[in-house]
Structure 1
């Protein structure tokens, strides 16, 4: 995937932040979208206190661009300190829906 320029990257970050405001879980906290090269890492305060008893910021998801306007979405395995791929080569809108609804609590522990 070709590297996106600054304004395009800023637009993508804004799009992700806007989508996260519409999520189902933990609507009262403010997640952060951080750029990591071409990828976006999403952090959120740990409201459940399942991962961080003090409620600090934890990694919850990683969006990595794939080929042809597709993306991969990974969840954080906090016990092992690794990313676990959950969805591959999907449209961004579909992955944002999965992330914001998160019925199985894969992302918002």
Structure 2
């Protein structure tokens, strides 16, 4: 949740764009900068409209609280095919990482697992 209202954020965003264009004006062509400014404003207004329409990315979903975490370099992700894989099961291979499970931290060289969504 933001501490500022949408109108305040819009005004601050406009001031940032204007000051950026003003500071760059002495080095770059004013017409090009004005075109960039209009594009930035168009993108920002589109984001505001999407927010108002309730179009929310699934990236904004809140993850459940957990003390267990696995961080590693992803080597391979695959979705097995066949009748047994009716649900959304995925296989993942990680290499070179760290995991913290039940308060214990461990490094690993390789890790394989199945995820169900």
TM-score past 0.5 threshold? no
Greater strand content: 1
Greater RCO structure (CA 8 Å; 6+ sep): 1
TM-score range, shorter chain: under 0.3
What TM-score do the two structures reach when normalised by structure 1?
0.24
Greater helix content: 2
What TM-score do the two structures reach when normalised by structure 2?
0.23
